[in-house]
């Protein structure tokens, strides 16, 4: 089969790989939807050979891209019980492989494996930008019948990541949350937070992304380049107090600092955007305001299943996140467009 490989400096190649066969405890999926995630751009833009290192988890080598897998089980390996996986089952993949038995793997957090995460699909292990994909049966998460494969793909990283961060923030309906960056994760957070009844302040430097945030339920839009003082603008919109919570999905050092400065006393700021640094004044920004800063990395298999159930039960239109639907053969064009970071989110469908 042919799989999409990031070959560095904004290039991709279709490379030939053997059709996967399941080992003990594994399954093979036919991929029906494979989403494009903001973190893929780090790999896409990296220098040749540096792609896997870009997220700090790399061991190099040619791997098939794509870490938002969703499809149908087509082959089941030895030792996989009927209740765990069966041929024809509609599934998402929790896109990490760990040792499978340590305290974190056993509770559905394979990315936190004490032995180090063995594979992140699409980054250090073969991902979903291909017709088929192999993974441990333990990392499958059932896709509710009401959800499309594209929605399942989004929940497998971007939307699930937004869900995980909102859960860590313990957001409630009476609160105001400011969400920095309205790319796929930030926009998902806007959609989910609004669906939970919270008031959402959406921030982005792209007018197009801000308009999408409004369509997804944001109550107030702020372009950080159009105001002199972002935390002051947020305080002004919250009776002088600041937001109860902030979620930082842009990875911008300035936005990270503003996300901490924009929460009210006793507020919580959550960092979701990967990479880089932040500079804070510990006393005024944090300590003297009793601020909690949270780092949130994706979600567990349990969290992924909860997110899917929530989206299905509330009828949330996650498919609407996708502005571009592609076939795998259009991968070059798809990543060129995504690289401009002005549009929404793309997905490969088959
Ligand atoms: Zn991702
Ligand atoms: Zn483990």
Q: What spacing in Å lies between the alpha carbon of 303 and ligand 2's midpoint? A: 17
What is the pLDDT averaged over residues 66-94? 97
What is residue 24's predicted lDDT score, i.e. its pLDDT? 97
Residue 122 C-alpha to ligand 1 middle, in angstroms?
9
| pLDDT over threshold 60, residue 317 | yes
Euclidean distance between CA atoms 46 and 338, whole angstroms: 15
Q: Which ligand is nearest to the CA of 36?
A: 1
* 24 Cα to the center of ligand 2, angstroms: 17
CB 68 within 8 A of CB 74: no
The greatest distance separating any two alpha carbons of the chain, rounded to the nearest whole angstrom, comes to 61
Task: Please state, for a pLDDT cut of 90, what percent of the chain lies above it.
Answer: 91
Distance 138 CA to ligand 2 centre (A): 12
pTM of the predicted protein model: 0.94
Which ligand neighbours the alpha carbon of 69 most closely?
Answer: 1
Please tell me the distance between residue 158's alpha carbon and the centre of ligand 1 in angstroms: 6
pLDDT confidence band for 48 (50 / 70 / 90) = confident
Q: Answer whether residue 281 shows pLDDT above 80.
A: yes
At residue 120, the 3 state secondary structure works out as: strand
Which range has the worst mean pLDDT, 47-61, 161-175, 177-191, 270-284? Answer: 47-61
Lowest mean pLDDT among 24-28, 40-44, 162-166: 40-44
Angle at 190 between CA 189 and CA 193, to 5 degrees: 75
pLDDT at 51 over 70: no
d(CA 230, CA 204): 11
The alpha carbon of 350 and the centre of ligand 1 are apart by a number of angstroms equal to 20
Strands 26-35 and 263-271: unpaired
**pLDDT (0 to 100) of residue 61:** 66
Which of 307, 312, 265, 302 is CA-nearest to residue 285? 265
The mean pLDDT of 35-42, rounded to a whole number, is 92
What is the pLDDT averaged over residues 254-277? 97
d(CA 311, CA 305): 10
Banded model confidence at residue 59, pLDDT cuts 50, 70, 90: low
Between CA 219 and CA 123, with CA 180 as vertex, the angle to 5 degrees is 130
Average model confidence (pLDDT) across the chain:
95
Q: Which ligand is nearest to the CA of 116?
A: 2
Question: What's the mean pLDDT in 223-233?
Answer: 98
Main-chain phi, psi angles of 343, to 5 degrees: -85, -170
Task: Give 85-144 pLDDT, tens digit per residue.
Answer: 999 999 999 999 999 999 999 999 999 999 999 999 998 899 999 999 999 999 999 999
What is the per-residue pLDDT for 162? 98
The pLDDT assigned to 334 comes to 96
Surface-to-core class of residue 314, CB atoms within 10 Å of its CB (0-12 exposed, 13-18 middle, 19+ buried): exposed
Residue 57 confidence (pLDDT): 44
**Band (58; pLDDT cuts 50, 70, 90):** very low
Ligand nearest to the CA of 101: 2
- Of 55 and 342, the structure prediction assigns the larger pLDDT to 342
Identify which ligand lies nearest to the alpha carbon of 110: 2
Q: Which ligand is closest in space to the CA of residue 157? A: 1
pLDDT of 257 > 90? The answer is yes
The model's confidence at residue 341, banded by pLDDT at 50, 70 and 90, is: confident
Rg (CA), the chain: 20
pLDDT of residue 344: 80
Domains belonging to the chain, first-starting first, are: 2-157+299-349 (3.90.180.10), 161-295 (3.40.50.720)
Q: How far is the CA of 158 from the centre of ligand 2 (A)?
A: 23
pLDDT of residue 62: 86
**24 and 77 Cβ atoms separated by less than 8 Å:** yes
Closest ligand to C-alpha of residue 55 is 1
């Amino acid at each position: 089969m042919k799989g999409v490989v990031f070959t560095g400096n904004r290039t991709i190649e279709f490379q030939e790989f053997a059709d996967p066969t399941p080992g003990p405890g594994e399954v093979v999926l036919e991929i029906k939807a494979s989403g494009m995630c903001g973190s893929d751009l780090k790999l896409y833009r990296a220098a040749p050979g540096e792609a896997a290192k870009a997220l700090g988890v790399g061991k190099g080598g040619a791997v098939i891209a794509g870490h938002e897998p969703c499809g149908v089980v087509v082959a089941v390996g030895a030792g996989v019980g009927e209740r765990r996986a069966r041929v024809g089952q509609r599934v998402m993949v929790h896109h990490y492989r760990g040792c499978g038995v340590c305290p974190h793997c056993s509770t559905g957090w394979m990315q936190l494996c004490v032995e180090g995460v063995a594979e992140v699909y699409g980054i250090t292990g073969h991902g979903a930008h291909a017709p088929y994909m192999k993974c441990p049966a333990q990392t499958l998460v059932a896709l509710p019948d009401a959800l499309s494969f594209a929605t399942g793909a989004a929940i497998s990283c971007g939307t699930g990541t937004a869900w995980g961060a909102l859960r860590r923030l313990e957001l409630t309906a009476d609160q105001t949350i400011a969400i920095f960056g309205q790319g796929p994760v930030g926009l998902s957070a806007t959609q989910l937070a609004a669906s939970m009844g919270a008031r959402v302040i959406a921030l982005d430097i792209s007018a197009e992304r801000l308009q999408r945030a409004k369509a997804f339920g944001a109550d107030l839009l702020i372009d950080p380049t159009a105001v002199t003082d972002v935390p002051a603008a947020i305080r002004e919109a919250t009776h002088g107090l600041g937001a109860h919570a902030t979620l930082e999905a842009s990875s911008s050092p300035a936005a990270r600092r503003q996300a901490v400065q924009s929460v009210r006393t006793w507020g919580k700021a959550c960092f979701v955007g990967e990479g880089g640094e932040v500079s804070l004044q510990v006393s005024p920004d944090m300590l003297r305001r009793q601020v909690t800063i949270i780092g949130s990395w994706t979600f567990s298999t349990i969290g992924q299943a909860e997110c899917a159930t929530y989206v299905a039960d509330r009828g949330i239109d996650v498919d609407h996140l996708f502005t571009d639907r592609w076939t795998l053969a259009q991968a070059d064009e798809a990543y060129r467009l995504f690289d401009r970071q002005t549009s929404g989110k793309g997905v490969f469908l088959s």
